[in-house]
């Protein structure tokens, strides 16, 4: 890891990819157990395991418990402790990329593990009403109920009609995998966008998704998934090492090496 080297830390950060032949037939639990036995400090967790991994853990941080999703597991004296740095990473990336964005009403696409973190971040940042859409109606309902328990009945609802919701919204967030290199396309009909909308992505490979490309073409303010990727990773780095990394240096390095990023269902040193 280049940031570790810059901080004079000797660390190993590997790829645990369940799609690779080396892991063929292994369960998430088996890979997690092996990583712990091999002496790693922890793992990062990405789509589609952020919720499925919870029963395999000994404890959850307050944020992870509230969100019902984990993207970082730390191995230690308390066993396997799950954390969620996604919400922090998204909030920091959003503020950095869209300063002063209107937060009266927003539309969120996706209610999975990343969606839970983003809904939490948006409501924590002050979005007054968030309409959440997901192809799985039960998943959207569950997330809405969880957010209502934290932020109140009036501030979040299950989305019913995208056209109507977008007509009222200040902006839209894609919290689905649609737009990733292996899931091309747009999660929203682009004709629902208007220039006054802001558009935020969680996908970071590619940095310019079809949704962002369409949004920029009509003059929308946009923020890509790079900020979330870097800032959530920085927080996870601190959890693993106890050392705060230089986020400006990490962002600069990320932007200079974006072409080399490979998106996987299981990411670097992750599940």
> CB neighbours (10 Å) of residue 62?
9
Residue 261 pLDDT greater than 50, yes or no = no
Out of 1.10.10.10, 3.40.190.10, 3.40.50.720, 3.40.220.10, the CATH code matching 87-226 is 3.40.50.720
Mean pLDDT of 130-143: 97
Q: pLDDT per residue over 241-257, tens digit each? A: 999 999 999 999 998 87
pLDDT at 262: 35
* CATH 3.40.50.10860 at 2-84+233-260, yes or no: yes
pLDDT at 268: 33
Report the C-alpha dihedral over residues 236, 241, 245, 247, rounded to 10 degrees: -10
Question: Does residue 106 contact residue 94 with C-beta atoms inside 8 Å?
Answer: no
pLDDT at 12: 87
Q: pLDDT per residue over 199-243, tens digit each? A: 999 999 899 999 999 999 999 999 999 999 999 999 999 999 999
Instruction: Give yes or no: 248 in active site.
Output: no
Using alpha carbons, select from 206, 224, 213, 183 the residue that is nearest to residue 260. Answer: 206
| Residue 85 confidence class, pLDDT cut points 50, 70, 90 | very high
β-partners of residue 42 are 74
User: In whole angstroms, what is the distance from residue 68 CA to residue 116 CA?
Assistant: 7
Task: Give just the sign of the alpha carbon dihedral 41, 182, 205, 94.
Answer: negative
pLDDT at 269: 34
pLDDT at 99: 97
β-partners of residue 198 are 171, 221
Mean pLDDT of 194-201: 98
Could you give the percent of the chain with pLDDT greater than 90?
Answer: 82
Q: Which of 50, 92, 162, 235 is catalytic?
A: 50
Q: Where are the domains of the chain?
A: 2-84+233-260, 87-226
How many angstroms separate the Cα of 139 from the Cα of each of 14, 103, 109, 245? 32, 24, 12, 35
Question: Does residue 67 contact residue 89 with C-beta atoms inside 8 Å?
Answer: no
More confidently predicted of 15 and 74: 74
How many angstroms separate the Cα of 45 from the Cα of each of 50, 248, 249? 6, 23, 23
Residue 264 pLDDT greater than 50, yes or no = no
pLDDT at 131: 98
pLDDT at 250: 96
Tokens of 174: 């894609």
Same fold, 2-84+233-260 and 87-226: yes
Q: pLDDT per residue over 145-178, tens digit each? A: 999 999 999 999 999 999 999 999 999 999 999 9
More confidently predicted of 271 and 39: 39
What pTM did the predictor assign?
A: 0.87
pLDDT at 263: 34
Mean pLDDT of the chain: 92
Phi, psi of 157, deg, nearest 5 = -150, 160
How many angstroms separate the Cα of 243 from the Cα of each of 13, 90, 145, 200? 16, 21, 36, 29
Instruction: List Cβ neighbours of 213 (8 Å cut-off, separation of 6 or more).
Output: none
pLDDT at 48: 83
DSSP at 174:
E
Residue 23 pLDDT greater than 90, yes or no = no
């Amino acid at each position: 890891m280049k940031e570790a080297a810059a901080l004079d830390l000797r660390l190993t950060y590997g790829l645990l990819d369940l799609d690779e032949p080396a892991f063929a037939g292994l369960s998430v639990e088996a890979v997690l157990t092996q990583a712990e036995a091999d002496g790693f400090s922890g793992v990062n967790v990405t789509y589609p395991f952020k919720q499925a991994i919870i029963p395999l853990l000994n404890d959850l941080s307050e944020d992870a418990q509230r969100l019902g999703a984990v993207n970082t597991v730390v191995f230690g004296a308390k066993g396997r402790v799950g954390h969620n740095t996604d919400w922090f990473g998204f909030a920091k990336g959003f503020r950095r990329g869209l300063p002063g964005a209107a937060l009266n009403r927003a539309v969120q696409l996706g209610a999975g593990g990343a969606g839970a973190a983003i809904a939490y971040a948006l409501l924590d940042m002050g979005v007054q009403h968030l309409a959440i859409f997901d192809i799985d109606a039960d998943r959207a309902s569950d997330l809405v109920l969880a957010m209502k328990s934290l932020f109140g009945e009036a501030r979040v609802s299950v989305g019913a009609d995208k056209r109507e919701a977008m007509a009222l919204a200040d902006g839209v967030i894609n919290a689905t995998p649609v737009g990733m290199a292996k899931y091309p396309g747009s999660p929203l009909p682009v004709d629902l966008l208007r220039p006054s909308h802001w558009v935020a992505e969680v996908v970071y490979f590619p940095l310019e998704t079809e949704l962002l490309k369409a949004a920029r073409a009509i003059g929308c303010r946009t923020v890509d998934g790079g900020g979330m990727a870097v800032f959530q990773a920085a927080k996870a780095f601190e959890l693993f090492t106890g050392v705060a990394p230089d986020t400006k240096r990490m962002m600069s390095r990320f932007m200079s090496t974006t072409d080399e990023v490979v998106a996987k269902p299981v990411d670097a040193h992750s599940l």
